[in-house]
């Protein structure tokens, strides 16, 4: 694809702009900003990745993965602002998921320890973990607020914080995992995954593309479960004080 061909694809941006203007949706500015940002960010990342891939430097690979984790943490923490220390909880969760998945992939020789594989797969894993963190935190804080009386009742009857928050925690973990599970039920029937489609368009053998896509899908299942569970169990204790009382939001 040439830059000229790429510029022609902006017609797909014009269509929502026209619809927004016609229906007075007021989304023109946001659409333009999103388009400009995506172009700049992706082109910049593309040039950086080309440099990193060519250098094969472990330092550059580490810096790229670190940058992804920092950006994902910054984006996800806003949904859990009411939870004390949420920034480091999200960061630890993302780091653990990254180390776990890459440790298995590289340790079992499933993928080679090269920049091409590490950075590409890390981007998908960290990005998915970020989305899962946002889904979990959004649901968890909502559950805690809506069931505050129930939580305090369990505590007043002698229950522990874990017992008092159990239902809210489990419901939030399940809710954040469901989209990943449901999307995998219809994969190949309703949609062709992005990675698989990209490889096929690039000329890769369809069977090989399917194998890599299955690898990513299985990775995302682990990412979904580990992220939600770990972040949940790191977060709920900070909702209570030393007297095992639910901390009231000011």
pLDDT at 92: 95
Tens-place pLDDT, residues 208-242: 888 888 888 899 899 999 999 999 999 888 888 77
Tens-place pLDDT, residues 176-207: 999 888 888 877 766 666 677 777 777 778 88
pLDDT at 179: 86
**What pTM, to 2 d.p., does this model score?**
0.82
Output phi, psi for 6, to 5 deg: -60, -40
pLDDT at 4: 85
Tell me the C-alpha distance between 176 and 158, whole Å.
30
Tell me the C-alpha distance between 12 and 157, whole Å.
59
Tens-place pLDDT, residues 120-177: 899 999 999 999 999 999 898 888 888 888 888 888 888 888 888 888 999 999 999 9
Hey, which residues does 191 pair with through a beta bridge?
A: 187
Q: What average pLDDT does range 57-64 have in this prediction?
A: 90
């Amino acid at each position: 694809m040439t830059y000229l061909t790429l510029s022609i694809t902006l017609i797909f941006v014009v269509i929502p702009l026209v619809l927004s203007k016609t229906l007075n949706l007021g989304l023109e500015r946001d659409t333009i900003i999103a388009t400009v940002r995506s172009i700049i960010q992706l082109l910049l990342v593309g040039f950086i990745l080309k440099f990193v891939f060519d250098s094969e430097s472990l330092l550059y690979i580490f810096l790229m993965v670190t940058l992804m984790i920092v950006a994902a943490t910054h984006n996800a923490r806003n949904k859990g602002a009411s939870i004390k220390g949420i920034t480091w909880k999200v960061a630890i969760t993302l780091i653990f998921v990254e180390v776990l998945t890459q440790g298995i992939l590289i340790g079992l020789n499933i993928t080679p320890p090269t920049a091409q594989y590490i950075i590409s797969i890390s981007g998908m894993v960290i990005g998915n973990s970020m989305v899962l963190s946002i889904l979990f935190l959004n649901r968890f804080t909502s559950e805690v607020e809506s069931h505050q009386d129930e939580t305090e009742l369990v505590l007043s009857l002698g229950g522990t914080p874990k017992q008092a928050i159990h239902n809210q925690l489990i419901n939030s973990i399940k809710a954040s995992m469901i989209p990943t599970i449901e999307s995998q039920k219809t994969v190949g029937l309703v949609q062709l995954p992005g990675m698989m489609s990209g490889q096929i368009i690039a000329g890769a053998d369809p069977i090989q593309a399917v194998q890599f896509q299955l690898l990513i899908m299985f990775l995302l299942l682990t990412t979904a479960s580990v992220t939600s569970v770990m972040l949940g169990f790191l977060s709920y204790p900070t909702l209570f004080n030393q007297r095992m009382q639910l901390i009231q939001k000011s």
